Amino acid sequence: MFPILAVLFVLFLTGLRVAQEYQRGVIFRLGRFAGMRGPGLYWIVPLNIERAVTIDIRITTVSAEQQETITRDSVTIKVNAVLWYRIVDPAKSVIAVSNAASAVYQLALTSLRNIIGQHDLDEVLQERDKINTLLQQGIGETTKTWGVEVERFEMKDVELPEAMQQVMAMQAEAIREKRARIIKAEAEFEASQKLSEASRQMAENPAALELRRMQMIAEVGAENNSTTVLMIPADFVSMAKSLSEYVREREAASKAARQ
């Protein structure tokens, strides 16, 4: 009796399984799907009557190997990408596909080449968010039938041919030079507007024009150690004399008023 109990106890122990919190056990009974177990301690019928396949349901990160592909505008580039996915239906991930991890990885590589081939180089470089969204959507529908959910699928690095890098550097330099010339032209246009406005004001007041001329001559004399011969128009002399007499008359009137 004791040997029989010992054998039964040993058989019971061989059927015990432990699944971690991030694991699930997919149970097959005589080759047919019988349900899932876990997390924690669970028991299966020993002697290969029931078999448990343990599945990790945590997010898995895969770095896709560098792919050499051609863009829509016939530029050969090398692209790296990173894939994040997790198993949401352990039963499907075992029954629907023989190796879920390998299938998802190969599908990701194929989708990466296809999506890049549908876009121009400028779009690949400047619209990464759009490309990443298309990459995720491109494999998301297929992986759902395998019980796998794609969290993110993003390009990491884009390597350009050396000749293309030189062309892009020349293009960037030309754009910067164009912007610099536009800014300089706008500054000259604004300066010409200010000079035009100043000339109109001076034309309305000849005295202001003469004062500006004298200021300019003084600046020239200060910058260059030279003798400057100044020719003052007679009208300006008369105006200055009249202004001086006017000032003296105002001062005399002010003194008389104080007395």
Contacts of 87 (CB under 8 A, 6+ apart): 55, 56, 57, 93, 100, 147, 148, 149
Q: Say if residue 122's pLDDT is above 80.
A: yes
Q: What are phi and psi of 50, to 5 degrees?
A: -125, 145
The pLDDT-based confidence of 153 (bands split at 50, 70, 90) is: very high
3-state helix, strand, coil in the chain (%, to 5): 55, 25, 20
What is the rounded CA–CA span in Å between residue 179 and residue 106? 46
The pLDDT-based confidence of 254 (bands split at 50, 70, 90) is: confident
Most confident of 113-122, 186-195, 250-259: 113-122
Q: Say if residue 10's pLDDT is above 90.
A: no
Please indicate whether residue 257 or residue 114 has the higher confidence score (pLDDT). Answer: 114
**Weakest mean pLDDT among 125-134, 148-157, 164-173:** 164-173
Chain segment 48-98, per-residue pLDDT in tens: 899 999 999 999 999 988 888 889 888 889 999 999 999 999 999 999 999
Q: Say if residue 237's pLDDT is above 60.
A: no
pLDDT at 51: 92
Pairing status of strand 32-37 against strand 23-29? antiparallel
- Mean pLDDT over the full length of the chain: 83
Average pLDDT, integer, range 210-229: 62
pLDDT at 205: 66
CATH 1.10.1740.10 assigned to 60-160: no
Q: Say if residue 126's pLDDT is above 80.
A: yes
Task: Identify the burial level of 237 via C-beta atoms within 10 angstroms of its C-beta, where 0-12 means exposed, 13-18 middle and 19 or more buried.
Answer: exposed
The pLDDT-based confidence of 239 (bands split at 50, 70, 90) is: low
Q: What are phi and psi of 54, to 5 degrees?
A: -85, 130
In the numeric block, which tokens belong to residue 17? Answer: 């399984």
Q: Say if residue 99's pLDDT is above 70.
A: yes
Q: Say if residue 206's pLDDT is above 70.
A: no
The pLDDT-based confidence of 219 (bands split at 50, 70, 90) is: low
Q: Which amino acid is at 180?
A: A
Q: Say if residue 101's pLDDT is above 90.
A: yes
CA 119 to chain centre: 17
211-227 exposure pattern, b = at least 16 Cβ within 10 A, e = fewer: eeeeeeeeeeeeeeeee
Most confident of 68-72, 104-108, 237-241: 104-108
Q: Which amino acid is at 41?
A: L
